[in-house]
Every structure is written in structure tokens, then in C-alpha cells.
Structure 1
Amino acid sequence: MITRADVEQAARRISGLTRITPVLESDPKVFPGPVWFKCEYMQHTGTFKARGALNRVLAARERGELKPDVGIVVASGGNAGLANAYAAAQLGVPAAVFVPAAAPAVKVRKLKAIGAAVVQGGAEYAEAYQAAVKHARETGAVYCHAYDQPEIAAGAGTVGLELLDQVGGLDTVLVAVGGGGLMAGIAAAVEGRAKVVAVEPETAPTLHSALAAGAPVDVPVSGVAADSLGARRIGDIGFSVAVRAGVESVLVSDADIIEARQKLWEDYRIIVEHGAAAGYAALTSGAYLPGVGERVAVILCGANTDPATLT
């Protein structure tokens, strides 16, 4: 469980190390009320995850847990690995990143370029996770979870604090959900000030299924956004904050996501990965229908994609 106080502490801790990403207002009269894009895809390493990674590693150093010769370890097929490798590089400590054998080559190259030691093996994220936990246990490296750690989620939530400063009187925040770290952080940051709507692919409905079941449950994962929204279950932090804050969940199809991503390119020349387009897909598909005058923000959370897939 995290609160706004945790997010505020994270903001102080990472101040000056992350970018204050811009907000762009959408074209007028397209929706019943104003819509803003929070352009977090412009953050270091191309996703919001740099915020949580820096908060986690800095907090570990404050507690004396970070060993300069050992550093950190993370299991990630992509964005979390990039973010934590970046955070480690900023602090001058080693980073070991365990990834599935099928991890995208472009992301593996980026990891190595940042200076991370990349260990590939296993068919799925779960195997990389087990290997990373073993590495942490044997070496004393600080383990950085992709989404389900308080400092990771609180750091991600600083997006929400920035957004409130940039857009006054906000009613609703649409945010894509995989493991739920970003959603949890933002929901904690804006709790009592705006509602949060979680947007999930129909092919990976982690929060939607957990809310229906009353607890986190495993779900089958597939679809165009699986590389970034491909967690098999919502994290405990994400679920607990969603229940406490009354987070709604809506589902979008792969076709909706593809169309929204294309529209962001055609209308605004914004290039994001499929997972990051999910929030906008809720608006363009009608999965979420804002009321007249409702002030809505969409978190565009990542841009690690191949532009050649846009037309």
C-alpha cells in the first residue's frame, strides 16, 4: 500500500534527476470536454519507469543497502530493465538485467549500451524473475521489481503530482495498466482530487479480472501490447490502491489500441508504443465516455517502439 505522502517523498528524492514532461492539449471539440496528453514517453529511457527506478535505488542507498561493487538486479523483458539500468548508471553502480530469451533485440541492445550486464534465458518473464531473485539472494544486489514494490510505484506516481500542477481542476486520469505500478502511484497521487480509470487490453485484463474476483488472479496474456502490458496478474500494491481509491477499469481491443496509436501519429505526430496508446484507445473507441465538460488527462507512458510500424 502506498499513499500520497509516499509519492511526495519520492518526488523530493528524485528531484532534478527526472524530466518534467510536457502536457499537450488535444484538438478542441473532438471530445465532450478538454483532453490533455501527459507526454511521459519523453522521460529518460522512453518511459515513466525511470522515476520508480531512481526512487528505489536512491532509497536503497539511503538505507545502506546498495553495495557499490554489486549494485542492482532486475528481471524485465524491456522497459523496467532499461529504467533500472539507467538509474544504476546515474549512481555509478552495476546493474544485472535478466530477460527472457525472446526479449526484443532492440531493447537488449539498449540495455547493453547503458552498461547493464544482460542475462538472457528462459521462455517467459517468470523464469527471468526467478533467476534475478536468486542472483539478489546470492550476491546481495538490490532487487528492483518491475512494478510491485512501494518505492517503484511511488516513484511512478510522481507523474500524477506533476500532472496536477500542470492542469488545474482535473476530473479524470486515464492510465494503461499491466502490473499496476503506474496506476497505483497515480491513484495515490491524485486521490481525493481526481478519479483514475484503468485501461487494459482485453487480452491481458489483470486489474479487471482481479476486481471481479476480489483478489489478484493469473490471466492469460497475449496481444499487441503484451511487451509492455504483459504482466500475468496485477501487483498486490496496484490492487490494494485500486480498491482503496475506487479505480475503475475498462477494456479495449487490440484493434482499438492499434487505431489509437495510429491516430496519435496522424493527428499529433506522437509516436508511442502500443501499451501507451491504450489510454487514448479508451476515448477513441468509446470504452470510456467522458461527460460534457469533463476534464480528462491521458498518460502516454512509453515510446520504445519501431516507428516503421506506423503508416
Structure 2
Amino acid sequence: MTDLHVATAPRHRSGEPWQGGCVTVTLDDIQQAAHRIAGHVRRTPVLEVSPTCVFKLELLQHVGSFKPRGAFNRLLSAREQGALTGSGVVTASGGNAGLAVAYAARELGVPARIFVPESAPAAKIARLRTLDADVVQVGTEYAEAYVAAVEAGEQSGAMLAHAYDQPEVVAGQGTLGLELLEQIEKFDTVLVAVGGGGLIAGIATAVGDRAKVVGVEPVLAPTMRRTLEAGELVDVPVSGVAADSLGARRLGSLAFEAVRKYGVESVLVEEDAIVAARTELWREYRLAVEHGAAVTQAALSSGAYKPAPGERVVSVVCGANTDPATLG
């Protein structure tokens, strides 16, 4: 099934430890994260849209995306270890991770400084400021904002919360997968949007031994696909309508380990399919989503991912931080 749009990571043989070159996240880590963040995040609902398709409505999470799961786990873990001090936390983000860290920091009573690229949507910038965060716009891409955040943390002593490539962050995102196992009696496949890969790494670790996991990316931001093709972490040019949320130039090392271990499939979707899917989600289901959150629906609606007869698919609808005026 490998063509322009679909590819599959080579799956590591079941039962063998993965011999990767970096720290990995385990199911036990995710279970601990679920216990730690309980009461801080929402258990988001699922919506059965057909006998073979279920939406996981993570756009209803605090601040409109799945990101608070990882943010709270990172900050609460650090607080347990005495690493979360009065200097607070810094992060770099195209928007959603920054919103999550700002929200978690406010709830936990510590300052947050958020570095975002100049291309970040105005709606996300405005929301960040309502969360009492110190917002710094720098550079044109996430990578430039990240460098600035690291430097700021080193100078101030603030803790760095990575947008997607820290064990605590990945474990927190994986709690979404645990919820799926509790909420849905049977499913065969989970479709997940991929940017830096924190969400897919967590979900694959949580459900990868029980179901197929498929990562969906825009053709103009194929970070996971190019990494799988190269067999190593590589930088990828990114652009397009979903670049504000799926615009990481390099897949996280934790995600690279997870997608190879669990044989995650890669699907690419065209720009026009993303735009059409976003419109479809609004018109048919009254779900106001950002373009990055529409890619899983785009994979289904455009045929980039074709479920087998009877295959029950969960589509993770992961972000709502968009301007409703653009929905029509």
C-alpha cells in the first residue's frame, strides 16, 4: 500500500526490547501520568459518527487541544522533584503547546514565558496573553523560537518544557490513548495528526499493542514520513495551511523510537483535502477545528487512508484554536 501518500514504518518484532539510542516512554510511565494529572485535565468525550468511525473530541480539552496533558505531567513531575521553582517555566510553541504550558503554569501558580514564531496565529497569541503568560515572538519558524526559549531558560533558571520531545510530555499525551481503551469497546485503528510527534508517540505506546496507529501529515510538512524514509532524524522544510500546529521541522527522538517500535503507518494529505475536511467538520458536525486538527478527517474523506471493510477507526480531533470567522 506504499505510494505517494502511504508508507509504513518497519515494525520491531513483538516481545523484544527496542534497542534505540535514546530514552523511551513506557506504558507504566503513561499510567503514572494519568494518575498524576487526574483532576487537572478533562476526560474528553468520544462521538460515534458511524458504525466504523469514532471521533475522539480532544478539541474540548482545556485551552482547545490535547497539549495540557503533557504540560501538566511535565510541570507536576518537576514539582515532585523540586525542579519547578519561582523562576517558572519557558517553552517554544507554534501556539498550542504554549497555551497548554501557560494554562498549567497559571493553575500551579508559577510564571510562564512563551516563545512563538512571528507566524503564529493572532487568535493563539491573544489567548496566550489572557493566560497571564509573557509572550515573545521571534523568528519565522518553531525551530527559531525554540533556540530563543532554551537560551532564556539558561539565563533565568526557568525550567524548559519542550513542546513534544520530553518523556513527561509524551507520557502525558499518551493518557489520551488510555482513555480510548476505556471509552471504546473495540477499535482497530487510530488516526493521529503528526507535527513533532509527541501525541503519536504517546498514543502508540498506550495502544500500539492493541490497535494499528496511523500518523497523518500534510504533504507540505512531511516530517515523520521523511524521517522514516531516511531511517534517521532529519530536518524537513515545512509550510502550508497547517504549519502553525504541525510545523516542526524535525521529528522528536522519542516519537522516532515509538513509531518504529510499533510500526506506525504514515499517510500524507494534500492541502485542498485539509481545507475541505475542516469545512466538512464544521458543516456536518459543528466542530470548529484548526487546519492541523482536520488532517485525520482529510485522510478519510480524500481516500488517502482507506479503511478495510469493517475496520473501526478512531479519528483524533485534536485542536480547536482557530478563528471561527474563517469557517463560513
Counterpart AA for 1:51: R
Query: Would you say 1:169 and 2:192 are equivalent positions?
Result: no
Q: Match of 1:40?
A: 58
Query: Would you say 1:6 and 2:24 are equivalent positions?
Result: no
Q: Match of 1:76?
A: 93
Q: Match of 1:21?
A: 44
Query: Would you say 1:250 and 2:267 are equivalent positions?
Result: yes
Q: Is the 8 A contact 1:101 1:123 kept in 2?
A: yes
Q: Match of 2:20?
A: none
Query: Would you say 1:308 and 2:325 are equivalent positions?
Result: yes
Give 1:125-274 correspondences, 5 Å limit: 125-274=142-291
**How far apart in 1 are the matches of 2:305 and 2:131?**
39
Shift of 1:76: 1.3
* Equivalent position SS for 1:26: strand
Q: Deviations over 1:138-157 (max 9, x none)?
A: 22211001111111111011
| Matched-pair identity in % | 62
**How far apart in 2 are the matches of 1:110 and 1:310?**
19
What RMSD in Å do the two structures reach over aligned CA positions? Answer: 1.0
Q: 75, 79, 82: which one pairs with 1:61?
A: 79
**How far apart in 1 are the matches of 2:279 and 2:100?**
26
| Number of positions where the alignment pairs a residue of Structure 1 with one of Structure 2 | 305
Q: Match of 1:31?
A: none
Shift of 1:27: 3.8
**How far apart in 2 are the matches of 1:278 and 1:147?**
19
Q: Is the 8 A contact 1:206 1:216 kept in 2?
A: no
Q: Is the 8 A contact 2:178 2:207 kept in 1?
A: yes
Q: Is the 8 A contact 2:123 2:322 kept in 1?
A: no
Q: Is the 8 A contact 2:123 2:323 kept in 1?
A: no
* Equivalent position SS for 1:48: coil
Q: Is the 8 A contact 2:115 2:137 kept in 1?
A: yes
* Equivalent position SS for 2:289: coil
Scaled by the length of structure 2, what TM-score is found? 0.91
Q: Match of 2:134?
A: 117
Shift of 1:104: 2.2
Q: Deviations over 1:34-62 (max 9, x none)?
A: 10000000000000001000000000001
Shift of 1:253: 0.3
Counterpart AA for 1:44: H
Shift of 1:101: 2.8
Shift of 1:273: 0.6
**How far apart in 2 are the matches of 1:121 and 1:201?**
24
| Superposition misfits of 4+ residues, deviation over 3 angstroms | none
Structure 2 gaps, min length 5: 1-23
Counterpart AA for 1:271: A
**How far apart in 2 are the matches of 1:4 and 1:176?**
21
* Equivalent position SS for 2:226: helix
**How far apart in 1 are the matches of 2:140 and 2:314?**
37
Scaled by the length of structure 1, what TM-score is found? 0.96
Counterpart AA for 1:21: T
The farther-off stretch of 238-247 and 1-10 is 1-10
Shift of 1:212: 0.7
Q: Is the 8 A contact 1:224 1:274 kept in 2?
A: yes
